[in-house]
Structure 1
């Protein structure tokens, strides 16, 4: 599993957060997506063998959100 922290440039409200979480959580291979509106960030846990980060970013762009990768983490418990 991998965890990525994404900066969401144009998120302003809880409706945006719900839209993003629904869009990303619906993707096969995504374990969890949590959005923090105040920090303008999304934390995404996913299985890189099932989905590429580019696919997640594409889904966010399709939903109307600009994304910038902040960090990459590997879960030591599942690696």
Structure 2
């Protein structure tokens, strides 16, 4: 497993947290997702054989948020 963190703009409520978590956990290979609303940090543990950072970032963008 590999862990990566991104700073995500626009996380303002629990609904935002849920949307991002749902988008990321739908990706095959994602083991866990931790979203911190207070600083916009999203930490993802994933299997690099099954998912890549670009697919993780695309999922966040697809949920309507920008990755810094």
Query: Which interval holds the TM-score relative to the shorter structure?
Result: over 0.9
C-alpha distance in 2 between matches for 1:53 and 1:18: 20
> Which residue in 1 is equivalent to 2:9?
9
- How many pairs are equivalent? 68
Structure that is richer in helix per residue: 2
What is the TM-score when the length of structure 2 is the normalising length?
A: 0.94
Deviations 1:45-67 (A, max 9, x none): 00111111100111111111101
Which one has the largest radius of gyration? 1
Give the Cα separation in 1 of the matches to 2:2 and 2:38: 23
What CA distance in whole angstroms lies between the structure 2 residues aligned with 1:63 and 1:39? 18
TM-score, normalising length from structure 1? 0.81
Moved over 6 A (4+): none
Aligned residue for 1:74?
none
Structure 2 unpaired stretches of 5+: none
